[in-house]
Chains A and B, each alone.
Chain A
Amino acid sequence: MYYYIVNPTAGHGQVKNLQDKLRARLDQLGIRGEWATTTGPGDATRLAKAAVASGHTTIVAVGGDDTVNEVINGIENDSTAIGIIPIGTANRVANQLGIITWPQACDALAARRLTPYSLIAAGQKFFLSTLTLGFETDLDKTVDMSAKGWRAKASQFAKSFGHATTYNSLKCKIEVDSKFTVNCDLFSLTVANQKFLNPLAENRLIIALSDRPNAKLKLGGLVWQTLRSGSRGTLEDTATTRFLADRVVIETEPPTGIMVDGKVAGRTPIAIRLTDRRVRFITEKIVADFKDAIGTRP
């Protein structure tokens, strides 16, 4: 049975306007289930735990990344399926799973395609998607990233570029699987589960580092990429170092904050590991795309 955990403040409270349509669509699909509304931070975790304890097999986070991460932290078995109806300001986790809009999310919930993912533990917190530290984390504290429209975007870029030119790289040491250590000057770092980027890949941490570009044009490119990715990290285009691991211990000088899916979640030094704890997500990801990508490999 489906259990919906609704964050009424997600996406500037847009669930209020959507609620009737959303319920009607879920009724049509025959997956209405039970509804619960969060009242504050940590409530989605508590509600998810209680729902699992009372026998619900599908928990749906109706909100943004914060709601999803709270739900993940409340589910301690791999028999419960997690679904997402993305109505938050930031819906990176849902988008990465191929779910972009709420109507599409409803159809995906009804289709119930399940993909298992190992959770990543950063200290005592579990997460699925992306951890970042360095310039992007610092940028989030200094520049308002929620503004929309081209003027706001231009202003964001100008402020971000200005910040990048004065940002001091961190001295970083990473111990990897107790086998080797990496020392470098770090501009930004991203950790994710590579299966989250490619559903055909095995569950392993992928660590991507960027050092500070010397040329202003490249620095501008890196800032643009950072803004475009919205704290999803620099895994894709700008990483200068990349490797796989099961466990890393990251130390920086000076110590710095880390962000999980765009939210501050601790400070260095921190141990990050891939756990045995798996969650099954209801996903829209079309695996055929990735098969085609492999098929076209030169």
Chain B
Amino acid sequence: MARRTHEDALGVVGAETIIGAGVIVHGELESQSDIMIDGQLEGNVTTSGDITIGVNARIKASIKGNNVTVAGQLKGNIEASGETSIRETGLVDGDITSAGLAISSGGQFSGRSRMHKDSKEA
């Protein structure tokens, strides 16, 4: 893993909220900035920033954010004002509402997908 920069150490760059592997969270996780989750979470996640669900993550929650990237397991709905991306190791069991959806080869999605009305104009 690359060493974090001085700016990252100060929280100027990178996710403000990081939930590491081995950590279990219950409840409402809210932030005004980016969230990175690599542990277990049950509840809801809301932010105006981006959300990244890491390969080790096991999540049962509704996710609401800007761009959402899923590389782990998510059971719950995604509401993204930006794009949703399901990576090779990602698994989503729930509905997705976003401006765009990308699923990498190997990524799994079970649910309904709905695009924002204004996403074409964008």
Chain A residues in the interface with B (C-beta under 8 A)? 176, 179-185, 194, 197-198, 201, 206, 209, 211, 235-237, 239-244, 290, 293-294, 296-298
- Asked if residues B12 and A181 are in contact (CB atoms below 8 Å), the reply is no
What's the minimum C-beta distance from A203 to chain B, rounded to whole angstroms?
13
Indicate which residue in A176, A179, A201, A243 contacts B18 across the interface (CB closer than 8 Å): A243
- Asked if residues B26 and A241 are in contact (CB atoms below 8 Å), the reply is no
Q: Which residue of B lies closest to A200 (CB)?
A: B12
Question: Within B24-44, which residues are at the interface with A (CB < 8 Å)?
Answer: 24-31, 39, 43
Task: Answer whether A184 and B24 are a contact pair too, CB < 8 Å, given A241-B18, A244-B17.
Answer: yes
- Asked if residues A184 and B23 are in contact (CB atoms below 8 Å), the reply is yes
User: Which one, B1-9, B70-78, B114-122, is touching chain A?
Assistant: B1-9
- Asked if residues A244 and B16 are in contact (CB atoms below 8 Å), the reply is yes
Contacts of B13 in A (CB 8 A): 293, 297-298
21 A/B residue pairs, CB under 8 Å, sorted by A? A179-B28, A179-B29, A182-B24, A184-B20, A194-B11, A197-B9, A197-B10, A197-B11, A201-B11, A206-B11, A211-B21, A236-B4, A239-B18, A241-B23, A241-B39, A243-B18, A243-B19, A244-B16, A244-B17, A293-B7, A294-B7
Indicate which residue in A237, A242, A244, A290 contacts B3 across the interface (CB closer than 8 Å): A237
| B111 on interface, CB distance cutoff 8 Å | no
- Asked if residues B23 and A182 are in contact (CB atoms below 8 Å), the reply is yes
- Asked if residues A181 and B11 are in contact (CB atoms below 8 Å), the reply is no
- Asked if residues B25 and A182 are in contact (CB atoms below 8 Å), the reply is yes
- Asked if residues B10 and A241 are in contact (CB atoms below 8 Å), the reply is no
The A-B contact count (CB < 8 A) is 88
- Asked if residues A297 and B39 are in contact (CB atoms below 8 Å), the reply is no
Q: Which 10 pairs, one residue from A and one from B, show the smallest C-beta to C-beta distance?
A: A180-B27, A240-B20, A241-B20, A236-B9, A184-B23, A183-B24, A293-B7, A198-B10, A243-B17, A242-B18
A184 and B28 alpha carbons, distance in the complex (Å) = 17
Additional A-B contacts beyond A198-B12, A242-B11, A293-B10 (9; CB < 8 A): A180-B27, A181-B26, A211-B21, A237-B3, A239-B18, A242-B15, A243-B18, A244-B16, A293-B12
Task: Answer whether A209 and B20 are a contact pair too, CB < 8 Å, given A179-B30, A293-B6.
Answer: yes
A297 and B20 alpha carbons, distance in the complex (Å) = 24
Q: How many residues of B contact A (CB 8 A)?
A: 28
Task: Answer whether A180 and B26 are a contact pair too, CB < 8 Å, given A296-B7, A297-B7.
Answer: yes
What's the minimum C-beta distance from B111 to chain A, rounded to whole angstroms?
25
Indicate which residue in A206, A240, A294 contacts B21 across the interface (CB closer than 8 Å): A240
- Asked if residues A237 and B12 are in contact (CB atoms below 8 Å), the reply is no
What's the minimum C-beta distance from B4 to chain A, rounded to whole angstroms?
6
What's the minimum C-beta distance from A235 to chain B, rounded to whole angstroms?
7
Contacts of B19 in A (CB 8 A): 182, 241, 243
What's the minimum C-beta distance from B32 to chain A, rounded to whole angstroms?
9
Contacts of A298 in B (CB 8 A): 13
A241 and B26 alpha carbons, distance in the complex (Å) = 15
Q: Which residue of A lies closest to B5 (CB)?
A: A293
A298 and B13 alpha carbons, distance in the complex (Å) = 8
A237 and B59 alpha carbons, distance in the complex (Å) = 26
What's the minimum C-beta distance from A213 to chain B, rounded to whole angstroms?
11
Q: Which residue of A lies closest to B28 (CB)?
A: A179
What's the minimum C-beta distance from A202 to chain B, rounded to whole angstroms?
10
- Asked if residues B25 and A180 are in contact (CB atoms below 8 Å), the reply is yes
Contacts of A294 in B (CB 8 A): 7, 12
Q: Which residue of B lies closest to A218 (CB)?
A: B1
- Asked if residues A242 and B17 are in contact (CB atoms below 8 Å), the reply is yes
What's the minimum C-beta distance from A287 to chain B, rounded to whole angstroms?
12
